[in-house]
Amino acid sequence: MKEQKSMAIYSRKSKFTGKGESIENQIELCRQYIRVNRGDEAADGVLVYEDEGFSGGNLERPQFKRMMSDAKGGKLSTIVVYRLDRISRNIGDFAGLIESLNEMKISFVSIKEQFDTNSPMGRAMMYIASVFSQLERETIAERIRDNMHELAKSGRWLGGTTPTGYGSEQVQRMTVDGKVRKSCKLQIIPEEAELVRFIFAKFLETCSLTHTDALLLQHGYLTKNGKNFTRFAIKGILTNPVYAKADPAVWDYFQEQGVDLFAEQAEFHGDRGVMAYNRTEQKPGKTNQLRPMEEWIVALGAHQGLIEGADWVKVQYLLEQNRSKGYRKPRSNVALLSGLLVCGHCGDYMRPKLSTRENAAGERMFSYVCEMKERSRSQRCKIRNVNGNLLDKMVIEELKRLPQQDSQFRQYLKQGEQLIRGNPKEYDQQLEQLDKALGEKKQEIGTLLSTLGKASGSVAEDYLLRRIEDLHSQAEGLRQQSEELRRITAGPAMANLQFDLLRQMVSSFADTIGAMTIEQQRAALRSCVRKLVWDGENIELYLFGSEGEVDFSELSHSNETLCEDSK
């Protein structure tokens, strides 16, 4: 029997803009269109694909990819969207999509523009509309760049966390029409500026981020936020153009790199600093990424630079040369406790360090070394290293004995269960009320959507749309409250399952650990071990337990010493 094809609704909304129709309204409006034009059966059996928080600039969206996969699998007959730009704002992507759908004999409908690829006119009009969508996108991008050029004229600071060495100072200026305009510029903070000069000087002296990092740790220097420096933070300072004095050496460097220089060469005479706009790409939830230098807009800053241009340029070339010398994690790492073992003196993690020697069993020897000790060259922490081969074996043997210590182990698990077990009955009445109210809102939305189809083009249409949007907001609030209550009441059931799995895992640990790969052994350890603490003499093993961490026991003493560098 031939499989029946379904109609599909695709909806997209960028949560970062805060504009446009909500995902739910898009779906309901599309469903109403299908009900009116194709009947109740088609509307009820429609497949829905939702992408929230994704731009229309490209097709890299999970639900869109899933929809296209279903289309290629012959599951779809028609794709319906509320508006054309919900699919794409890029003419190339859109044209390719329409061509693919035509080859698969799948219709495409946009209800807002009333386009339908079943007709030649519909196909032609959609191509035209998509051109305007892309034009809008490119126009916005061009306006942003024009705005960047306007900002570059003043060399002002745009706000946010100021770089180390500077604070933000507000300045006022009078425009030609007599209006007062406020802006910010960078102002040197002498103490921080000396630290920046120290960092540049030590890197030029050592040509090494690692050595510079060690010197900062040894002297107890902290970042602007009061934290220890890292190589990443140091590199961020060394590569920031804001510290460079705008002199001929800097001009020549940026010219070689193809940077958009928004100043004349004669203006780069070293009296002012450098301001780089459009330098980073900011994405919500992700670390800022540096853009290619060709996309930067470099101008004279309103501040004073700290580092001579020739020195700043030399640092950039040194960093480029050192890029291939960065630390790489050993491929043959057999350590089991990475990410679990903590230094009892400073609280930093202890990482494995491989040696070239082998023990009597023919195993590659390694030790666990405190990261703070390693980075500060034993100035900030002097804890002894740990024999990694021996420690891994001792931890495995200790966990194998857990089932034998049945009463103590079960007591910890029981305490943990009691702490998170709740009585969900008190939430039942609230949950019932929320579900009832949510059902009423959805029913009212459905009624208004039916009315909307009849009121199309009338003065009532705008009112109905606003009312639907308002009801949707109320329903969304009720839905979130309902989900939170369900999460709370489901917590104990999930916890019971987790504790049961933990019991089963530990009970079979002794029989199965020997047959596991290194990766499987690491995963098994992390399922029951919270952390291990090395105080220089003893190891304490902490299991998941009654209050997050339980000091289960000190590992058994061995005839072999765990300390590798003890005297």
Mean pLDDT of 209-231: 89
What's the confidence (pLDDT) of residue 183? 73
Q: Which residue has the higher pLDDT, 35 or 149?
A: 35
Structure tokens at 278: 């459009």
Short-list 155, 45, 40, 29, CA closest to 82: 29
The whole-number pLDDT of residue 259 equals 86
pLDDT at residue 544, as a whole number: 65
H or E segment and range at residue 510: helix 509-512
Whole-model pTM: value is 0.51
pLDDT of 17 reads 44
* pLDDT digit string, tens, across residues 232-248: 899 999 999 999 999 99
Q: Where are the beta strands (DSSP E) in 143-198?
A: 166-174, 180-188
Arch. (CATH architecture) of 196-325: Alpha-Beta Complex (3.90)
pLDDT at residue 379, as a whole number: 87
Q: Note the pLDDT of residue 174.
A: 64
Average pLDDT of the chain is 77
Please state, in angstroms and rounded to a whole number, the distance separating the CA atoms of residues 363 and 360: 7
Decide: helix, strand or coil at residue 424.
coil
Report which of 51, 41, 118 is spatially closest to residue 79, judged by C-alpha positions. 118
CATH 2.60.40.10 matches 6-141: no
Which residue bears the tokens 């020997």? 514
DSSP labels for 53-105? S--TTSS--HHHHHHHHHHHTT-EEEEEESSGGGT-S-HHHHHHHHHHHHHTT
pLDDT at 566: 40
Q: According to the model, what pLDDT value does residue 19 have?
A: 47
- Model confidence at 261: pLDDT above 70: yes
Q: Which residue has the higher pLDDT, 562 or 356?
A: 356
Q: What is the pLDDT of residue 556?
A: 43
pLDDT tens readout for residues 296-352: 888 888 899 999 999 999 999 999 888 755 545 445 567 889 888 999 999 999 999
H helix or E strand, kind and range, residue 551: strand 550-554
Does residue 355 surpass a pLDDT of 70? Answer: yes
Domain range annotation of the chain: 6-141, 196-325, 334-429+481-567
Confidence of residue 550 (pLDDT cuts 50, 70, 90): very low
pLDDT digits (tens, 9 = 90+) for 174-195: 666 667 677 788 999 999 999 9
